[in-house]
Amino acid sequence: MKKNRKFKYLVMIITPMLILSLFTYFNLFKIPEKIYINEDTNSVNVTNNIFIKDSKIIKDKLEVKLLGLIPIKSVSVSKVKDLEVYPGGVNVGIKISTKGVLVVGHSDINTIEGKLESPAKVSGIELGDIITKIDGENVENSKDLSKKISNLHKETITIEYMRNGVVNNKEIELEQENNEYKLGLWVRDSTAGIGTLTFYDKNTNIFGALGHPITDGDTNKPFAIKEGNLLNSSVISIRKGEKGSPGELKGLFVNEKDSLGNIAKNTEAGIFGSGCDKLINPIFNKPLKVGFRSEIKEGAAKIITTIDEEGPKEYDIEIIKLLPQESPGAKSMVIKVVDQELLEKTGGIVQGMSGSPIIQNNKIIGAVTHVLINKPDVGYGIYIEWMLKDAGIIE
């Protein structure tokens, strides 16, 4: 009997300790290796775990402690001084041309001997590769590539191409079709569309938009930008989002000769470049402080977006879940549209709203990025710090 009692007492003591240990272990993965904070902040919560307490920030380090006593992780802290940016929320037209040409398809060659597989495909050129040079000469666009191939008087060429940011070279034996040499590729050199501006920093003239990269519709690979422009645009209609069918803002460019900014970067966190004061939101025209992820809370928030000719408006959303991330990505938080007016007009989040700034406690904390196909009122947002980092505004 005494042994049974001792065993019960032991179980009663060990079980809570095991639960606490497991709970803490899994929550450690949610604690980032590095956080950004405003300069006047002395302490911060990096997790919602009630058992994990943070100590004060000392020498750019935050010691995370279990029960406020046992150190379990050290977090690097980067302090940012008085950072304010102008919120976006306005529609912008986007036109970009690529470095070289993007491979979007393979095509067979009809020869005298019959149909042959694409020479480029046989040589290992894949969809999403970016062809930058042929025999050492730059490829400017699709027409330039076609001209260079048509003018060849030999069947073997050397192609320079980029794949996942890495430059490679490959020899390709061409095939002839109607007495002309052919690579057997479909390529693309430009794209255009509309999106939403996220922020404009007047101190540096840098803007950020979209919150996710511009990718090719056929290959889902990001475009490598040679040059691009941000333009005035206007929403002309809305296709309402429904379960299984994402909605869309349909718009057109206004005065393509009047550029609002030059697009220089296309990254996992959006598009970035230099602009001018024309990018300042005409209605929400006061700069907002930046709220880093350590300040964001699950619960009520707002987005600023434009869905019709009435211009940018604030709409109510809810931050359902904050997700752990160690590198920039477009899925930092799960958000839900709860504003009845927006739900009635759009069904929730629609294509073209990407980049709409997310506001909480009068701070800009992120941007809308994606919608869930089967739940048009639910989608994702990105932490603003990822966009500011890729823009070069913070380290």
Active site residues: 212, 339, 354
Q: Which two tokens stand for residue 228?
A: 């691009």
- Report the DSSP pairing between strands 61-66 and 70-80: antiparallel
| CB 266 within 8 Å of CB 96 | yes
Sequence-separated (6 or more) residues with CB below 8 Å from residue 102: 128, 129, 130, 187, 188, 189, 216, 219, 221, 223, 224
Q: Which two tokens stand for residue 185?
A: 């590729």
Put the strands of the sheet holding 52-58 in their side by side order.
34-38, 70-80, 61-66, 52-58
